[in-house]
Every structure is written in structure tokens, then in C-alpha cells.
Structure 1
Amino acid sequence: MNFFGQDQCIICNKRIQPEVGWIALFSREKECLLCPSCEGRFQQITGEQCRICSRPFLQLDEKFQHGDLCHDCFRWEEDSVWKELLVRNISLFCYNDFLKEVIAKFKYRGDYVIAKIFAQWLKVEISNMEGDLYVPIPLSEERQYERGFNQAAALLNESGLPPTEILTRTHTEKQSKKSRTERIHLPQVFQLKSNTQLNGKSIILIDDIYTTGSTLRHAAKLLKSAGAQTVQSFTIAR
């Protein structure tokens, strides 16, 4: 044990002041990853929210709510092609400016260690979800070469959960450059690896951001057509 060392915030690199006192000194089990300032800038999703996608209702106009569904999920569920493919998405945080910058460092600037931050929350949430397999949303070979790693698989690895990498992905233009309509009407970009047995399995998909839900539903559609019983998802941001 390092009695005199200090942890450093993964995001801002400032030294984290340790708790003072004998109890804190001898009961400490793990390093601190965030300073109080950075931790306080994450906007956790709480309160009433969409039953499927976790969209918070607090600041959402009532005309965009349909009972316990947001307008987007209501439209997905009205479409017979997409209805009931995704049972539930759990998102941790609202995609505010601070989180946008953190995820940009994680995804586009190769800051792998940021996965450790979200892994702590992921472990807690996953323990409340029933799943047989944890499937990270894949990157295309070209995109993974650019970034150096798959951020969804990194979240699972840092959580101590085994990623089941049974999906591959066709290389396309970045999702962030597409409009909502373009994302929804994408052709199927995922493929299932050969000899994958999913009959009766409950799948939990892992990704970084839930935007329109198109990516997760395309993956869910493929998995369910291959025999999966249910598909849920976990994302960092909504």
C-alpha cells in the first residue's frame, strides 16, 4: 500500500486530495479515478424516463411523450419491422458538452484509460440486467485501425466481463455525419460470425452513445433473426 501517494484525475490530470483520517487510510481498496470537480460534471440520468431508451422526461415537452415512451421509441414500436427488437437500453449520463469531450478523447484520441471510469458504473448496472452474453458493437476493420481499439470492448474488458465478439461490421461513413433519417434507413451493416449459436440467449449489447437507436436496433434485428430470445443494451450516454 502506498501511504503517501496521491491519485491523479484521469480527465483533468489534477492531483486528487486524499481523504484525511485513519479509517480512510486503512480501508482504502482502490485508486480514485476522478477529482470531485470532474465527477460533478457528469449529468446522471435520473427520474422519469422513456421505458425503452432512458431518455429523461424532465425537460421533454409533453407532445414528445406517449405514455411511458418518448416520441422516437413510439415511432420505432409503431413500425412492424422494428417493433420489440430492443427491450431496453440503459444509459448512464446525458450527453452534455463535458461528456462529449470525454468521449471524444476516449474514441478518437486513443485515451484507453478512460474506459476505467465508465467500467465502475457499468459493473453496477449490468448486475441488474439479465443477460447470457455481452456483445460489444463492433467497428469496421478500417475504423478500428484508425482508433486502435474498440471502445465498447474496452468497457467490458475493464469491467472484468467477457466480451462476446460475434458481430462484424461493414465499413461505412461515420454515423456522426449522418442525419437521423439517414441513420434509420441504413442498410444492414452487421454480420454474424459463422457457427454462432444464439438460440434462447439473452443478449446485452454494449456501445458508447445512444442517439437514434438505429445502430442498436440493426444489431438486435440480426441477433434475434439468429435465434436470440431478447436483446437489451447498455450505453454510456443518451
Structure 2
Amino acid sequence: MGKLCSDCLRWQQVASELLTNKALYSYQTEAMKDYLERYKFLGDYRLRYVFQKRWCDFIVKNYPPKQGWLYVPIPVDQESKSQRGFNQVIGLAELLPLTEVLEMKQTHGRVKQSKKNRRQRMQTKQPFNYSGSEGEILQKKVVLLDDVYTTGRTLYHARAVLKKHGAALVRSVTLSR
């Protein structure tokens, strides 16, 4: 195992096990920040095509559906979806067979992660409910899909819900980190 990043070192102190995340790109470039601003926050849905095929190919290569992996996108709240017109993760992953089993607890009026600092993100309470059928993910291998891994808080919350409902193994793939 290689050297752990600062986020992993923090998670090692509070989580029962580290979440394995694979990211295709670095978020620390101006080009990626600009892309996500335009795609996610300004709602330019056509921009999903820029990375869609490469990201989906990356996911399938690392977690082949023939090996039983389920692809679970991180949901967005209704307010974000109505403002933007789409879930940015589902837009990027629409070439994959998605298993949508998570939903937001609070659909309106929540403070978005992008508006919080690191400390505030880490203090975020569990935002997800399980919305799948009983046994849908029981003893299954799951890959969580999200656009950006910043602190990992969102993905760790999602993993907790999936594990509680019987997922055997949970990994994650993000477009950028």
C-alpha cells in the first residue's frame, strides 16, 4: 500500500475502514474547476459529453459489471436538481446501468457541500436514506459514483447507508479528486 494522503490519515482515525476511491482527474487544475463550475453550477448539460465516455470506461475497467459490481450514483437534492435541471453524476454516468438506491433526506433548504469549508463538511450529518427495495444490494459489491471527492464526507455517509442495508463491499469512483 502506498503513502496515505492527508484525508485518508484523518479518516483512519474516525472510520472503521478506509474507503477506496479512484479518481480519473485532479480537481486542483483550473481547467477542471472551470469545467465543474460550468457543468454543475451553471447547468450546461451538454458538457457531460466531455468526460462521459472516458469516465464510464474507467469505471467499467476498474469495476466490471460482469464481476457483479453495481453502480450507485450520489443523489442531489430536489432544489439543486430543479435549479440545474439534472443530476450531474447521472449525466456523466448515463452510459452505465445505474442502481439508484440512495435519496436525500432533506430535499430543500440544505447548505450545499460546495458552500462549506473543510470543518463544516466533516461535521455534516447523514444526508441519505436508502430508497431501494429490501435485499436489492444485499451481499452485492457497490461502486459509489460522484463528481468530486473533496473531503470524502459525502462518500463515507453513502457507504454507511449501503453497508447498513447489506452491501458486501463498497468502493467509490469520482471524476476528480
Question: What TM-score does the superposition give when structure 1 sets the normalisation length?
Answer: 0.66
CA RMSD of aligned residues (A): 1.6
Q: Which protein has the larger Cα radius of gyration, Structure 1 or Structure 2? A: 1
Q: 1:227 aligns with which of 156, 160, 166?
A: 166
Separation (CA, whole Å) in 2 of partners of 1:111 and 1:132: 30
Moved over 4 A (4+): none
Is this contact kept in 1: 2:11–2:18, CA < 8 A?
no
Higher helix share: 2
Across the two proteins, how many residue pairs are aligned to each other?
A: 168
Residue of structure 2 equivalent to 1:104: 37
Is this contact kept in 2: 1:89–1:233, CA < 8 A?
yes
| RCO comparison, higher one (Cα < 8 Å, 6+) | 2
Residue of structure 2 equivalent to 1:213: 152
Is this contact kept in 2: 1:85–1:220, CA < 8 A?
no
Residue of structure 2 equivalent to 1:21: none
CA deviation after TM superposition for structure 1 residue 187, in Å: 1.0
Is this contact kept in 2: 1:115–1:154, CA < 8 A?
yes
In structure 2, give the amino acid aligned to 1:70: C
Separation (CA, whole Å) in 2 of partners of 1:136 and 1:229: 17
Separation (CA, whole Å) in 2 of partners of 1:209 and 1:215: 10
SS of aligned partner of 2:62: coil
Gap runs ≥5 in structure 1:
1-50, 52-66
SS of aligned partner of 2:174: strand
Q: 2:84 aligns with which of 143, 147, 152?
A: 147
Closer, same or farther: CA 144–196 of 1 in aligned 2, 3 Å: farther
Q: Identity over the aligned pairs, expressed in percent? A: 40
Gap runs ≥5 in structure 2:
none
In structure 2, give the amino acid aligned to 1:150: N
1:107-139 alpha-carbon deviations (Å, 9 max, x no partner): 122211211121121133112323521111000
Is this contact kept in 2: 1:106–1:114, CA < 8 A?
yes
